[in-house]
Every structure is written in structure tokens, then in C-alpha cells.
Amino acid sequence: MRVRRGAAGCLVALLAGALPALATPVGASAEPAASSNIAVPAPEWTALLDRRMGWTGADGIYSIPLSGDERPGSAGATTTFFTFSDTFIGRVNASGQRVSGATLVNNTNALLVGAEPDPSDIDFYWRTSTGGAPLAQVVPRPHTDPRRWFWPNDGVVVNGKLYLYGLRMKEGGGGAFPFAVDGMSLLRTDADSVPPFSSYQQVDTPLYLPKSGAKGETTYGQAVLPNTVTAGAPEADGYLYVYGVRNDRSSKKMVVARVLPQQIEDFSAYRFYSQGGWTPSIAAATPLTDRISSEYSVSPLADGRYILVFQLDTLSNKVAVRYADTPVGPWSDYTVVYTAPEDDISPNTYTYNAKAHPHLSTPDRLLISYNVNTFDFFEHFSNADIYRPRFIWLPLDQ
């Protein structure tokens, strides 16, 4: 959920960057490349996050295997770390309504043991105040200003350490959306720590570029591809690919940096893709493709290709994919693989931020999640079923 802390405002500022980003770019087709549902619902995974006590809804879902093995079918031998952004903590009654006292915190996480979506195998975590009130699991440090918070992005395990890119947010910005990006941090903790991120180190990174002229604000960390032997990548080249979003006025565009795993904390070693090559200058980076969402994923396939999973045009009911032969493209035209039905829950609901979870997948089908939300904040209390991730299966024998 993209809300101002403690406010019942519009939830889409960061998602859309600005509402004009929903417009179709010049030269792009206004119609999807396909309209049939190639993907099918994964009700067993959707049910895992349908909860009535404690953690009762969130967005921003990312999954990271703590073994570091990203191969489809590998989850049975590891524990999965899930991270979420804005989260409701409280109780939901038998009528599906949040009861008085529900609390919204900026991030939480969870641990799932094994490969099955069994509610008995997952535990959720958040901090609490001395008085027992729910608090976000990670906060910017030094935490001298409560008007700053983290929305977690993607991460990776390197040499027993769990790294997480955290989007630092702040109140301000003016206009209809009174909050803004403050920067991108890299958080580090031991991969075997329980609860996750009960202690952690924070490094503020240069992986953020303010808007400059025609180039929109840019951040890196929205998707991480460990294209390594350790991660089980079929065409491993040894690099971590750290993808980001450039919020141009016409469309959200995909950008990428790469770094060797052992240099993940050395930001001088990051190289940014620019016009077919790599440069140390973040300002010189050029986009790979467009019409993506604020959060997405890039994953290797067994045949050596790579698949980009995203929500078409940021906020829409269209889950889309593109394919490429390398982690940087060139990317194919998009194909819509699923039309989410949750837009019909009410006139206020919308869907966003589709992404894949490769290690929770199987060799012949890819597990994908997307988020569901509402423009009417009070609808979160009258209908608690809206605000939680949904899952679908995408067959890979296409």
C-alpha cells in the first residue's frame, strides 16, 4: 500500500510516479499483444496470505531463498524470506471486516519453511513498542525522524548474508501526493537470523538519481537477478543484475546495473547499462524497455532465455511478460498472460506490481504474484479481503 504515514490518502503516488505515466507512449500499441488468460489462478498460494489474526494484509511482496539457490523446485530444501511493504496488523471478524484497533505499519517480513503453501509452515514478523504496539520491522537509521520509513525492494543472499534494497521514503513533496523518495539503502543481516532483520546494518547507496530535465527520478533495487552458478542460473556470467525504474512522464522504464556478488557493498564497482555497454555513471544509464511497473522481476529460464514479469503500464489489470536472450535484452514485445479480476470487487479496486517467484516455481510453470488495493482507504476496513497478494501459475511450455 502506498499511503502517507497515518493518513488515509491516495495510495498510488510511488506506484505511478505521476498519473501521466499511465498514458500510452508515442509509437506504442494501446492494445495488449494478447488478451487470453495464459496463466491460471494459484488458489493454494493465495490462501496462504488470507489471514484473520495478526498479519492480515500487505503489498510489496518479494521472496528470497535463504540458501541462495533460485532454481525452480529448489524451495523444498530451504527457507524462504518474504518481505512486505505497508501491512495491516490486527484482527478480521467473521464478516471479513477489520475490527477496531487495526494498525498499519510500513513493512513486515515472514519465513516459510519448505516449498508448500502450508499455513503451519509460515511465521510473520514485525517489531513492537515497549507498550506492545506493532512497529515496522526495519526503519531508516539513525531513526531521528518518524516521518521517514522503508518500503523494502528485492534482495539476495551472498556468502551467508541476506541483502535487501530498501527504498527510503519521507513526508513532503506537496500536491496530491505528500511524500517522496529520500534515497535507496542496502540492508544486511545474517541469513539465518530469526526473526529476520532483528538486527541489521544499513548503508545508504548512490542508487538514486533525482529527476533531471526530461529524465524522471530513477531508483535501483526493484528487481535482483543473481546470474551466478551459486543461484543455479543456466547461463551464469557471475554477476548480480540490479534492476530499477526510471519514472519518465510518459512511462515507467526499466534500467539495470550489475556488480560481482562479493562487491555488492562497493558501490564504486557498480556498472550501469548504457547504449549497449557499461558505465560507472548512473546519469549515463539508458532504458532497456518501457511500460513496466514499480516492482517487477527478471528470472532465467531453463532454455537460456530470461523472462521479465510486470504489470503493464504500472496500474492495470494486465499481468504481462517479455523475453530476452540476455539479462539486458533486447526484450521482446510484451504479451499479456493474465487479466486480473479483482478490479471488479468495487469501483475503487486496482491491481499492480506483478512479479515472479522462481524458486517457489516448478520447471514447467512459473509462480507469479500481484497486489490488490483500493483507492478508498476505508474500504480496507469494510472488506479485508481486498488488500493482499494474489498468485497465478504461468505455464512455461509456450
> Which domains are delineated in the chain?
13-395 (2.115.10)
Cα 89 from Cα 68, distance rounded (Å): 30
Instruction: Please report the pLDDT score of residue 172 as a whole number.
Output: 77
Instruction: Please report the pLDDT score of residue 179 as a whole number.
Output: 80
Cα 338 from Cα 311, distance rounded (Å): 10
- pLDDT of 173 over the 90 cut: no
Using CB atoms within 10 Å of the CB of residue 70, give its burial: 0 to 12 exposed, 13 to 18 middle, 19+ buried: buried
- Confidence category of residue 1, pLDDT binned at 50, 70, 90: low
Instruction: Please report the pLDDT score of residue 22 as a whole number.
Output: 36
Instruction: Please report the pLDDT score of residue 174 as a whole number.
Output: 60
Cα 327 from Cα 242, distance rounded (Å): 10
Instruction: Please report the pLDDT score of residue 227 as a whole number.
Output: 99
Q: Which range has the worst mean pLDDT, 33-47, 94-108, 249-263? A: 33-47
Cα 360 from Cα 354, distance rounded (Å): 15
Measured between alpha carbons, how far apart are the two ends of the chain, in Å? 33
79's CB contacts (< 8 A; 6+ apart) are: 65, 66, 67, 111, 112, 113, 114
Mean pLDDT calculated for residue range 284-295:
98
- pLDDT of 353 over the 50 cut: yes
> Number of H helices and number of E strands within the chain?
3, 28
- pLDDT of 258 over the 60 cut: yes
Cα 272 from Cα 288, distance rounded (Å): 11
- pLDDT of 28 over the 60 cut: no
Instruction: Please report the pLDDT score of residue 347 as a whole number.
Output: 95
Q: Which residues pair with 1 in a beta bridge?
A: none
- pLDDT of 169 over the 70 cut: yes
Percent of the chain with pLDDT over 90: 84
